[in-house]
Structure 1
């Protein structure tokens, strides 16, 4: 059996349930309300000489608010009720950018505003209908902000300022992302990609000179030595570094236009991914530091590690080892800032001194369980079955209930994406289940990011097959190890994870019940209705429907609904524009026509991913009741 504690979680080597260390104290039960509290939003930190700014979700109000650091501590900034969110590509990202006098933000209605750091005054800079902005990057030299603008199904790289208005800097590519400016504002780099590709399959690096008037001159592309996904260009003086996976992993490369052996110069780093899949704009997993050197994130067996390295990428040392994932790396002055996640704490904004390695929590980072010991992630690896079945990694959580059953029932979780990943970080929903006697396992099936390009692309043409095989292998492995009760296996997933759940239950009778949260049920209809960003993704996942019609039919849950003999529960938002509500309605109708009795819980005001606290609470409570009934049926 190969199951070990996550190296940064502090979990015991033993696989026994992790109960409270004080036997005389009864643990406080985490309620559904507690599991749906406010949190710092990942992918939303920006710093400048004006200060430190971040976004924080507030489910009780249904908004994402702007916060900043004051002399008295964290405080809200900007008008009351202002909700900040980008909708570019459907997933957003890069909705704020700090400048010297304040911060640029994208409001819920997709307009760009500038908020003054001193008095909180909010100035609206755009007033357009039918647009979305994201990927903001401040241009303090010209008191403006760079952005990706999406309008009428097309994207452009633009600049927006209070005096200049909107300047279109570059157009003609299907998608844009990751604009980066040199310190003097004279050079720019960005990434683009074309349909039908996704940015983690194939993308391209661009550079240009920025003229005094703010326009671009000398735009050119820099082809990689082989097919690759590139992301996150960063300037360090006149040197440009970028993450590319043409060597098999997302690793940092230096662009050398005058290089004798080619433009792309490798850095001396381990063969690990140094970023995750760029579903959102504004990602930052590496940053140049004042005085030289770099801070970089690397993913080792599913865990994010933060490393400090010299200018050549050598002589590294790990920072903040008690945290297990890092996003939004940025620096100002002598300090490094990031959003960090841990298995024991709530998400935190960290300030790190690279000279002393001192870590300071700026905001968030509270003890997650109010004095109780949370269930901690234990790293497990399902051994490779054959050359076509590689080893599968995941995180296992033992129950923390006062009198845990031995072995306990298991909730197997399929993450969304499917090109995403599970991380060993505090998740209040997992704690909710563990406190009620369930074990939980999150599985990084084939197609997940963080394990190299080959593993990530292994899902091509095999969605609904390879991921299903890996979920089944993980469940069987944990049961064979005696960690869970093989007769009480449950499986759940959101979005594409819901699709994996349905395809698993069509293929298998291992599971006692399944739950789909706004999951895909009809890929062909989704292909016709989905937003432009993912319009070619399904053909990559399943192959062309014209060339492989039998494959599409066999891997469409709607067509196989009668084969599901497992109790099912569905959750769907009425405003979902990714997996449209008709997908779930049609699946329910087909299952009912086959004599089945699925449960459906409908939320008229929710979209793709429930944002309102009342909806999240209802989901947990209904799901708990469903699993408890299925456990004793």
Structure 2
């Protein structure tokens, strides 16, 4: 039987300790013969990334020695830090950014020379020539004494067995996805130039014995975001393009040109913030397994050789990476009831599942019954400009507690990063941390989010800091009108670009009682001037070209609107963040101190853009909870012993 308690005070098994307990994040999967490999980012090992290999009938085996860390800093966000062929593993080592090779049964060996300055030469997204064993890979060079983004050089090089590099693609501002054809006679890649991001306008090229061919992209009158080029066994090149609004699947052959192979309401592609993720793969018979995102959920689809499709009965609603070989499919998948896991299944000649879907690694086994789990409801509401806008809504859920009579739950508005990103339906204990305490949560796919087509994504062009904020304000009012939440106790939280939206929402609206800013952008102009190369022109589209649009940058900066900011704020920041440097957060904190507003600040040593260390993830969650308890006026469960966050300028009668 449940007990009436004030929302926020509900006892729960989902503590911050549980959120980080033996937790990790799965990064990528691969098939090497019959073996499955995947990467695990492990907070309890300092946030390092380990590569795991599982042979048929065996047990998972760590491939990297203690202390090794398979993580690249290319584009700052990384991804594509490792690849494998015939038992040999290549990976980028975080500590010095050099490439290592690990032969079966051997220790890692560096195959690239030391950089003139530590980490100034970086590697990512490699592919092995099946004919010669050479590796085509992205190289990012930060010249010694460079002036920042303007001097960084991105190229595709080919490494021989001794690590000697032959530059094969140079000139574009950015390159990615070097992929050898099955016989090694051709190399495909993607390239793009400022001010575009890879989802704005990219070019797909192929180099073979006849020269360089432009396959797709590069039409100034019809820009298209291209991603995930991949060669089929028959020598055709497949890729995703959003030329028809959705990221659909296309095929190119030298003689036949480009044909659209799959198109439906939904995205096969996704924005490539990091290198390497794949959402389709080929089976031995030529059919294709693909993940399709529509209205906030993924489904797995089989595209047969005759063009027919069927939905596969695999219980996942989010796919992070996918690989296939023969009749075997492996993926990192999750659902509202399951955290991300490495899954494997087999298909027969009719495309039917053979036996059950196997879970190879779930990172951890959370002993949490379904009665504790709040599942998302995908909602549509009128956004800030009145157009249909979307979100995942999670009602509070706790079998042992219920609100006081007449009480509506407080609301946490969650803002994903990007802003070219999306909310997912994945089971997240970090979300259940709130819902099991009596909070409602709404995870907003505001205008500009992905998974709804290019037109929806392009809504945010020139409107960042306006329409995203309007959508977040609108969802609070809409849920309040529905009688599902207490609009007077709505708070807003987000990180990076989501942190920017948090700050702008607090500064330009009066609907939020408080906010939590994780390494958010406080000064848009400073970001345009100081950020890393990958995003150094991102704001040209989201706000305006710089410096021509400087006045707009000033107007869109939270620091400009401090006079109208009256809500309490907690700010959490990594000391080594190169994307949003600590100076941005500290400027907001100092300004709030001068105004005498309630503010708390946590600076975490050794953290970059996003927290990886278990103790810091735990501390940030508990600090945020303590902050809400003090400003909204509810008591914390006594048995959790959560440290009280020190809040400057907090009035004794707050809450």
Equivalent in the alignment of 1:139: 129
The answer to whether residue 49 in structure 2 is matched with residue 64 in structure 1 is yes
Matches within 5 A, 1:355-366: 355=348, 356-358=352-354, 359-364=357-362
Counterpart pick for 2:101 among 114, 118, 128: 114
Equivalent in the alignment of 2:542: 541
How many residue pairs get matched? 598
Cα deviations by residue, 1:520-559 (Å, 9 ceiling, x for unpaired): 0001011111000111101211112444333222211111
Q: TM-score by structure 1 length? A: 0.90
Counterpart pick for 2:249 among 248, 252, 257: 252
Which range is displaced more, 69-78 or 359-368? 359-368
The answer to whether residue 375 in structure 2 is matched with residue 389 in structure 1 is no
The answer to whether residue 164 in structure 2 is matched with residue 148 in structure 1 is no
> Shift of the alpha carbon at 1:495?
0.5
CA contact (8 A) 1:345 1:366 kept: no
**TM-aligned CA distance change 1:144 to 1:121, over 3 Å:** farther
CA contact (8 A) 2:518 2:571 kept: yes
> Shift of the alpha carbon at 1:233?
1.0
CA contact (8 A) 2:490 2:511 kept: yes
Q: Which runs of 5+ in 2 are unaligned?
A: 5-9, 143-151, 634-654
Cα deviations by residue, 1:195-220 (Å, 9 ceiling, x for unpaired): 111001010000112x7xxxxx6122
Q: Secondary structure at the match of 2:139?
A: strand
The answer to whether residue 185 in structure 2 is matched with residue 186 in structure 1 is yes
Which range is displaced more, 554-563 or 395-404? 395-404
Counterpart pick for 1:78 among 64, 76, 97: 64
Q: TM-score by structure 2 length? A: 0.87
The answer to whether residue 381 in structure 2 is matched with residue 380 in structure 1 is no
Matches within 5 A, 1:492-571: 492-571=493-572
Counterpart pick for 2:238 among 241, 254, 261: 241
**TM-aligned CA distance change 1:485 to 1:146, over 3 Å:** same
CA contact (8 A) 1:496 1:519 kept: yes
Cα deviations by residue, 1:464-492 (Å, 9 ceiling, x for unpaired): 00000111111111222122111110100
Equivalent in the alignment of 1:12: none
CA contact (8 A) 1:32 1:432 kept: yes
CA contact (8 A) 1:52 1:68 kept: yes
Cα distance in 2 for residues equivalent to 1:87 and 1:504: 31
Equivalent in the alignment of 2:288: 294
CA contact (8 A) 2:383 2:470 kept: no
> Shift of the alpha carbon at 1:40?
5.3
The answer to whether residue 331 in structure 2 is matched with residue 338 in structure 1 is yes
Q: Secondary structure at the match of 1:266?
A: strand
Cα distance in 2 for residues equivalent to 1:37 and 1:182: 43
Cα distance in 2 for residues equivalent to 1:578 and 1:288: 36
**TM-aligned CA distance change 1:32 to 1:41, over 3 Å:** closer
Which range is displaced more, 456-465 or 75-84? 75-84
The answer to whether residue 282 in structure 2 is matched with residue 310 in structure 1 is no
Cα distance in 2 for residues equivalent to 1:141 and 1:483: 61
CA contact (8 A) 1:44 1:95 kept: no
CA contact (8 A) 1:377 1:395 kept: no
CA RMSD of aligned residues (A): 2.1
> Shift of the alpha carbon at 1:372?
5.0
Equivalent in the alignment of 1:31: 15
The answer to whether residue 282 in structure 2 is matched with residue 281 in structure 1 is no
Cα distance in 1 for residues equivalent to 2:76 and 2:260: 34
Cα distance in 1 for residues equivalent to 2:93 and 2:383: 49
> Shift of the alpha carbon at 1:278?
0.8
> Shift of the alpha carbon at 1:258?
3.2
Which range is displaced more, 402-411 or 53-62? 402-411
Cα distance in 1 for residues equivalent to 2:528 and 2:281: 37
> Shift of the alpha carbon at 1:239?
1.3
Cα distance in 1 for residues equivalent to 2:24 and 2:588: 35
Q: Secondary structure at the match of 2:277?
A: coil
> Shift of the alpha carbon at 1:404?
2.7
Counterpart pick for 2:320 among 327, 347, 355: 327
Cα deviations by residue, 1:235-279 (Å, 9 ceiling, x for unpaired): 1112111101111111011224434xxx32122421321121111
Cα deviations by residue, 1:150-186 (Å, 9 ceiling, x for unpaired): 0031111122343353232221111111222222222
Cα distance in 1 for residues equivalent to 2:24 and 2:43: 11
Q: Secondary structure at the match of 1:246?
A: strand
The answer to whether residue 632 in structure 2 is matched with residue 631 in structure 1 is yes
Equivalent in the alignment of 2:650: none
Cα deviations by residue, 1:546-584 (Å, 9 ceiling, x for unpaired): 443332222111111121111111011111111011111
Cα distance in 2 for residues equivalent to 1:608 and 1:398: 30
> Shift of the alpha carbon at 1:42?
4.2
> Shift of the alpha carbon at 1:382?
3.1
Which range is displaced more, 79-88 or 411-420? 79-88
**TM-aligned CA distance change 1:141 to 1:374, over 3 Å:** farther
Equivalent in the alignment of 2:224: 228
Matches within 5 A, 1:537-616: 537-616=538-617
Cα distance in 2 for residues equivalent to 1:489 and 1:446: 20
Cα distance in 2 for residues equivalent to 1:506 and 1:425: 31
Cα distance in 2 for residues equivalent to 1:451 and 1:306: 17
Equivalent in the alignment of 2:74: 88
CA contact (8 A) 2:205 2:216 kept: no
Cα deviations by residue, 1:293-347 (Å, 9 ceiling, x for unpaired): 1011111101111111112542323241x21111322122321111112222221
CA contact (8 A) 1:137 1:146 kept: yes
Counterpart pick for 2:342 among 349, 361, 377: 349
Cα distance in 2 for residues equivalent to 1:276 and 1:520: 24
> Shift of the alpha carbon at 1:367?
5.0
